[in-house]
Amino acid sequence: MSSVLIKNESRLGLKLVAPAVGIIGLLVIYPILFNIYLSFFDVQLNGTKTFVGMENYTDLLGNPRYFHSIGVSVIYLIGTVVGTTVLGLAAAILMNQEFRFRNLARGLILLPYFAPVISVVFGWQFIFDPVNGIYNHVVVDVLHLTDTRENLIGNPDSALFVVILFDIWKHFPIAYLLFLAKLQSVPKDLYEAAAIDGQNAWGRFWHVTLPELRFVIATVVLLRIIWNLNRFEDVYLLAPNVETLPIFTYYQAFAGIVDQGVAAAISVIQLLVLVGLIWLYVRKVLKW
Interaction residues for other proteins, span 153-192 (CB under 8 A):
187, 189-190, 192
Stretch that binds other proteins, among 1-9, 36-44, 194-202, 231-239 (CB under 8 A): 194-202
**Is 169 or 205 the residue whose CB approaches other proteins more closely?**
205
**Is 192 or 233 the residue whose CB approaches other proteins more closely?**
192
Angstrom distance (rounded) from CA 247 to CA 232? 6
Q: Binding of other proteins at residue 141 (CB under 8 A)?
A: no
**Is 162 or 208 the residue whose CB approaches other proteins more closely?**
208
Q: Which of 12, 200, 206, 276 binds other proteins (CB under 8 A)?
A: 200
Stretch that binds other proteins, among 56-64, 85-93, 105-113, 199-207 (CB under 8 A): 199-207
SS3 letters across the chain: CCHHHHHHHHHHHHHHHHHHHHHHHHHHHHHHHHHHHHCCEEECCCCCEEECCCHHHHHHHCCHHHHHHHHHHHHHHHHHHHHHHHHHHHHHHHHCCCCCCHHHHHHHCCHHHHCCHHHHHHHHHHHCCCCCCHHHHHHHHHCCCCCCCCCCCCCHHHHHHHHHHHHHHHHHHHHHHHHHHHHCCCCHHHHHHHHHCCCCHHHHHHHHHHHHHHHHHHHHHHHHHHHHHCCCHHHHHHCCCCCCHHHHHHHHHHCCCCCHHHHHHHHHHHHHHHHHHHHHHHHHHHCC
Cβ atoms 131, 154 nearer than 8 A: no
Stretch that binds other proteins, among 90-98, 106-114, 140-148, 205-213 (CB under 8 A): 205-213
Angstrom distance (rounded) from CA 87 to CA 84? 5
Q: How far is the CB of 217 from other proteins (least distance, A)?
A: 13
Q: Binding of other proteins at residue 218 (CB under 8 A)?
A: no
Angstrom distance (rounded) from CA 248 to CA 226? 17
Q: Binding of other proteins at residue 102 (CB under 8 A)?
A: no
Q: Binding of other proteins at residue 35 (CB under 8 A)?
A: no
Q: Which of 38, 194, 222, 242 binds other proteins (CB under 8 A)?
A: 194
Q: How far is the CB of 161 from other proteins (least distance, A)?
A: 36
Q: Binding of other proteins at residue 195 (CB under 8 A)?
A: yes
Q: How far is the CB of 256 from other proteins (least distance, A)?
A: 53
**Is 144 or 188 the residue whose CB approaches other proteins more closely?**
188
Q: Binding of other proteins at residue 214 (CB under 8 A)?
A: yes
Q: Binding of other proteins at residue 197 (CB under 8 A)?
A: yes
Residues that bind other proteins (CB under 8 A): 187, 189-190, 192-200, 203, 207-208, 211-212, 214
